[in-house]
Amino acid sequence: MNDLAIPDFGREIAALLPFLIVAGGGLLVMVTDALVKTLRKDHLSYLVLLVLLSVIVVQTTSGTPEGPVLNGLLLLGNFSRFFTYLFVVIGVLTTIFATGIFDRDGNYRPEFYPLLLFAILGMMVLAAANDLLTVYLGLETMSLATYVLAGGVRGNAPSSEAGFKYLMLGGFSSAFFLMGVAFVYGACGGTGFDQIAAALHSGSAPMPFLTLGTGLMLVGFGFKVAMVPFHMWTPDVYDGAPAYVTGFMATAIKAAGFAILLRFVLLTEPMLAFAWYPVLTVLAVLTMSLGNIVALVQGNIKRMLAWSSIAHAGYLLLGIVAILAPALGGPEMMARAKGIVEEGGAALLFYLVGYALMNLAAFGIINVMGTEPGVDGDQISRYAGLSRRQPVAAATLAVAMLSLAGIPPMVGFMAKFYIFSVVVKAGLIPLAIIGVINSLISVYYYLRVIVVMYMHDTAEDSYQGTEWVSVAAAGLLAFLIIYLGVMPEAFHRGAEIVFRQISF
């Protein structure tokens, strides 16, 4: 950052347009809500949808410039664009789900909309970050917004607890991360990814500092993606937050976390492999196993999905481990390394999208089924006989559950297949076997939801109402889950192309 070049403002602005739209949109929504008294509250949701759609339009139509912008603070390209699409789509669905609930309960949370946009902005920055400082900025923008989203249901104790818990633990993890940044900065003499790469390449950086620094940063990322042992917050926060926020957290934050983790792993690959590969392997196995085993005994569907999201973080970590493995595997492995890294990255991207689809479909339905605050509407037993009361909702949730369990022809199966075949290709057959056994265990608890919906008689107090827009949106996701499960080729190919651009 020493040699500040005169930036080409036109290019910079054009490149940053999607970010500016989201940021400006967030402010606009906030101001509109405060100033325009005559506005009906639900019109805010249209404004949000308009902002998000215009991001897609701008990104698709104008060939936004690629490469580093803002003096290398951000790196724009297919990778960041891919994640922007993902976050925006998740945002659109979250807006639909949330608005459905606001409409039903007549209880608007106008602050929800700008916060959602700010969270998305943070994620976009995170996926495009090319400097540890931008990583931190993105991380904090995203986190601060989600703390409030999770805890912002006024007068609802579980929600407040969730928000507070997330805030406290999130604060800790940010501190760890910052400490790690400090060490890495000390070791490499810079925070830019390019500078770090150069320092690592020349071998001038002192190893102890680097090891410590990257380890501390892994703690920070591990917290965001709910990696054991930094997962403690997940069940409480997922359970306490309203379902539309939980769905957003489970999909978008996980995707953002893995986006930056992937960048980070590729950046520090050889060094990280020597220092942290064994640890990451053990943690991946623990994450899957603990998540799946604890999920077996949950009676609350949101808690169950929280533990399941921990388990899925474990599968995703397997992909990360597979990417790291060749660096340790000797010359024969090194020859295949590029292929494994590319396939591993593509598999991870595919998994994140598939995971977002199925989790959003599930939370979309759970969101509709939840009752007023204070009433525990998320007990699985309340879903009894849902297939007879609301066949579309039940079928959607069933598809989501089967996909999460990894049963063909759903996208969850293809996603797991891609990940596990990369793991096998990297020579980690025992890990693949553990992963497969884990996904076998998981089938039991996912199926239990289906059993309750389809095979139990209707319980007395089950919720009877319905929100057609949400159910239709979730149903569309269920269709996509099956479609991508049968026709994964085009999408997987796309993920490969996206990934190939960033692998350095």
Partner 1 sequence: MGEHILSWMTFFPVIGAAVIAFIPSERKEIIKTVAAAAAAVPLILAVQLFVNFDRGTAAFQFVEHYTWIKSFNIEYYMGIDGLSVPMVLLTALLSFLCIIASWNISKATKGYFALFLILEAAMIGVFCALDFFLFYLFWELMLLPMYFLIGIWGGPRREYAAIKFFLYTLAGSVLMLLAMIAFYLNVQDPNTGGHTFNMLFMMDQANHSAWLKATDIRHLLWLGLFIGFAIKVPIFPFHTWLPDAHVEAPTAVSVILAGVLLKMGTYGLLRISYPILPDAAVWFSFTLAIFGAINILYGAYCAMAQTDMKKLVAYSSISHMGYVLLGMSAMTSAGINGAVLQMFNHGTITAMMFLCVGVIYDRAHHREINGFGGLGLQMPLYTSVFSFALFAAIGLPGLSGFVSEAMIFIGVFPVYRTVAIISALGIIIGAAYVLWMLQRVFLGPKNEKYDDLPDISGREMFTLVPIGILVLLLGIYPMPVLDLMKVSLNNLIKVVAG
Question: Between residues 175 and 433, which has the closer beta carbon with respect to partner 1?
Answer: 433
Which window, 101-109, 143-151, 325-333, 439-447, contacts partner 1 (CB under 8 A)? 439-447
Residues in 376-395 at the binding interface with partner 1, rule: CB under 8 A: 388
| 315 near partner 1 (CB under 8 A) | no
| 179 near partner 1 (CB under 8 A) | no
Q: Would you call 188 exposed, middle or buried from its count of C-beta atoms within 10 A (0-12, 13-18, 19+)?
A: buried
Q: Which two tokens stand for residue 341?
A: 């890294």
Least Cβ distance, residue 320 to partner 1 (angstroms): 19
Question: Between residues 109 and 416, which has the closer beta carbon with respect to partner 1?
Answer: 416
Are the beta carbons of 284 and 240 closer than 8 angstroms? no
Which residue in 420, 431, 449, 478 binds partner 1 (CB under 8 A)? 420
What are phi and psi for residue 284, nearest 5 degrees?
A: -60, -45
Distance, in Å, from the CA atom of 258 to the CA atom of 348, rounded to the nearest integer, reads: 8
To the nearest 10°, report the CA torsion of 99, 470, 27, 115. Answer: 90
| 437 near partner 1 (CB under 8 A) | yes
Distance, in Å, from the CA atom of 242 to the CA atom of 247, rounded to the nearest integer, reads: 9
Which window, 169-177, 250-258, 332-340, 424-432, contacts partner 1 (CB under 8 A)? 424-432
Question: Between residues 96 and 346, which has the closer beta carbon with respect to partner 1?
Answer: 346
Chain-centre distance of CA 258, in angstroms? 7
Question: Between residues 183 and 420, which has the closer beta carbon with respect to partner 1?
Answer: 420
* Strands annotated E in 258-365: none
Question: Between residues 96 and 393, which has the closer beta carbon with respect to partner 1?
Answer: 393
Question: Between residues 372 and 489, which has the closer beta carbon with respect to partner 1?
Answer: 489
Are the beta carbons of 287 and 311 closer than 8 angstroms? yes
Which residue in 168, 232, 334, 455 binds partner 1 (CB under 8 A)? 455
| 503 near partner 1 (CB under 8 A) | no
The amino acid occupying position 455 is: M
Size of the site for partner 1 (CB under 8 A): 27
Distance, in Å, from the CA atom of 405 to the CA atom of 446, rounded to the nearest integer, reads: 6
Q: Which of 137, 24, 9, 144 is nearest to 73 (CA)?
A: 137
Which residue in 78, 160, 371, 421 binds partner 1 (CB under 8 A)? 421
Chain-centre distance of CA 409, in angstroms? 23
| 447 near partner 1 (CB under 8 A) | yes
Distance, in Å, from the CA atom of 252 to the CA atom of 90, rounded to the nearest integer, reads: 7
Question: Between residues 338 and 388, which has the closer beta carbon with respect to partner 1?
Answer: 388
Which window, 19-27, 45-53, 354-362, 442-450, contacts partner 1 (CB under 8 A)? 442-450
Distance, in Å, from the CA atom of 419 to the CA atom of 315, rounded to the nearest integer, reads: 8
Please give the residue ranges that form the binding site for partner 1 (CB under 8 A).
388, 402, 407-409, 413, 420-421, 424-425, 432-433, 436-437, 439-440, 443-444, 447, 451, 454-455, 488-489, 492-493, 496
